[in-house]
Chain A
Amino acid sequence: MRVTVRLFAKLRDLAGSGELVREVPPPATVQSVWKALVSEMPALADYERTMSVAVNADYSRMSSPVQDGDEVAFLPPVSGG
């Protein structure tokens, strides 16, 4: 199945792109999408401790299921205002 991965701020810089399309084997979770991403780009790994995640632009959890066509976002600590 195919998912769109969105990355922001420093994570986007580290990955060199803010939007990636990846094939992941079902059944997938946010966690399994992240693991696949980190195996491809180990520099992202440290963010697992502090990032937030979203599925289809809604805050989610690492354990949440991911369906074909979903958009999965990984978000560094925020600094708006």
Chain B
Amino acid sequence: MGVPLVTVTPDPLDLQALTAEVVGRGSGDGAVASFIGLVREQNQGRRVSFLEYEAYEPLAVRALQRIVEEIRESWPDVRVGVHHRTGRLELGDASVIIVAASPHRASAFAACRYTIERVKQIVPIWKHEHFEGGDVWLEGAVADPDDEAARQAAHRIACA
């Protein structure tokens, strides 16, 4: 059986399975763009030991589905899948994977970039960073899916 197009899971992420799911649903694809977000060793001058990701899972899944809908509006020929991991992740582990398939590379790249920008804006997931000497909850964007300016900013970055 295949994997869901969007999910929030404590299990390791599988780019190959997600790619098969996204591409398998299409016909006439000419391009697949993918993105893998990794746990980085250095963050804001701190030496990271590991990260713990926490999610408000039902709302996180809804927010990911919303991003998929937004992509359908902006790039009707693109299909996208996105999986986000939760729990303790070690350096180098994949925290998020995104696959975008399209007849043409430009919209596949754009939709892939748009997805990660929107994940960082509106999906209720938090990093608890454990570093040498302490720990800190990272706080980025104030999540507001109806903030049209934020959506436009993500769109501009995606199409730059």
Question: What is the CA–CA distance of A51 and B142 in the complex, to the nearest angstrom?
Answer: 6
User: A9 contacts B54, CB within 8 Å?
Assistant: yes
Cβ–Cβ contact B96 & A57, under 8 A: no
Partner of A79, one of B60, B116, B127, B145: B127
Cα distance, A54 to B143, chains bound together (Å): 11
> How far, in whole Å, are A26 and B10 apart by their CA atoms in the complex?
38
Contact B56 A80 (CB under 8 A): no
Contact A80 B137 (CB under 8 A): no
Q: Which of B11-19, B106-114, B118-126 contacts A (4 or more CB under 8 A)?
A: B118-126
The answer for the CA separation of A81 and B122 in the assembled complex, in Å, is 11
Partner of A81, one of B120, B128, B139, B146: B120
A75 and B58 within 8 A (CB): no
**Which residue from chain A places its CB closest to the CB of B140 in the assembled complex?**
A79
Instruction: List A contacts of B140 (CB < 8 A).
Output: 77-79
Interface string of A45-81 (1 = CB under 8 A from B): 0000011101001110000000000000101111111
**B contacts with A, residue count (CB < 8 A):** 34
Could you tell me if A54 and B56 are in contact, using CB atoms closer than 8 angstroms? yes
Asked whether any CB of chain A lies closer than 8 Å to the CB of B144, the reply is yes
A contact patch SS: mixed
Given contacts A78-B141, A80-B125, 16 further A-B contacts (CB under 8 A): A8-B126, A9-B139, A51-B142, A52-B124, A52-B142, A54-B59, A57-B62, A77-B139, A77-B141, A78-B123, A78-B125, A79-B137, A79-B138, A80-B84, A80-B96, A81-B37
Residues on B lying within 8 angstroms of A by beta carbon are 37, 53-56, 58-60, 62-63, 84, 95-96, 116, 119-128, 137-146
